[in-house]
Amino acid sequence: MNSKFLLTFFILISGLSVFGQFSRENISTDSSEIEIIRNSVYHIYQENFKDKDSVWRSIHFIKDTTRLNTEGWAKKSGQRIGIWKEFNFDKQLLFTRDYDNAICDVNRKLFPHHEILDRMKKKADSLIISNYSQEFFDSQVRFNFNCSAYDKDGYVGSWTEPMKRKPTEFLFRYQVRLKNSD
């Protein structure tokens, strides 16, 4: 009888630990809606301000919630704004990204082969400039660091992911603004 009880008890406890790896908590105040999500890797805090188109997101590593992964402001549509920084678990800055000015500075020590991406981006920029003009490029074209790098074995990384292998093929995506309001 005791062995059946212990077996049932351990099965229930094991099932609860599997379901306990994800939790969501919602808190409402007079000025904002706060959502706290925990999964097996991250603790995500998101505050939506009721009277503004502003969302504050802060993501920490669940193993040590004092270790910041990334944080910054976004619009309610999800579009990030301002400056965001991303860190690894060892508290090393991976990159700083300014979404308003389309700038992304990576930690060169942690991003091997990144200079190849820089060179290839300059070549891609020059192709657009030679076909459409420097003025068009400066006023209408924006590179949001949306790119992928490949080698003969497949995907090796992107602008914000360190590459373990030297890339030989690249995919760069640019945005073209048709009007100042776009």
Please say whether the beta carbons of 103 and 82 come within 8 A. no
b/e for 67-105, b at 16 or more Cβ within 10 A?
eebbebebeeeeebeeebebbeeeeeebbebebeeeebe
CA count, 13 A, side-chain hemisphere, 49: 10
pLDDT (0 to 100) of residue 15: 45
Query: From edge to edge, which strands make up the β-sheet containing 93-98?
Result: 23-28, 32-38, 42-49, 55-61, 68-74, 80-87, 93-98, 103-106
The tokens 């939790």 sit on which residue?
23
pLDDT (0 to 100) of residue 178: 82
pLDDT (0 to 100) of residue 6: 43
**Tens-level pLDDT at each residue, the chain (182 residues):** 555 544 444 444 444 444 457 889 999 999 899 999 998 888 899 999 988 898 999 999 988 878 899 999 999 998 999 999 999 989 999 999 999 988 999 999 999 999 999 999 999 999 999 999 999 999 999 998 989 999 999 999 999 998 989 999 999 999 998 876 66
Residue type, 110: L
Percent helix, strand and coil across the chain, each to the nearest 5: 25, 45, 35
Residue type, 160: T
Please say whether the beta carbons of 28 and 47 come within 8 A. no
pLDDT (0 to 100) of residue 81: 94
Angstrom distance (rounded) from CA 145 to CA 170:
12
b/e for 142-167, b at 16 or more Cβ within 10 A?
ebebebbbeeeeeebbbbeebbebeb
pLDDT (0 to 100) of residue 179: 74
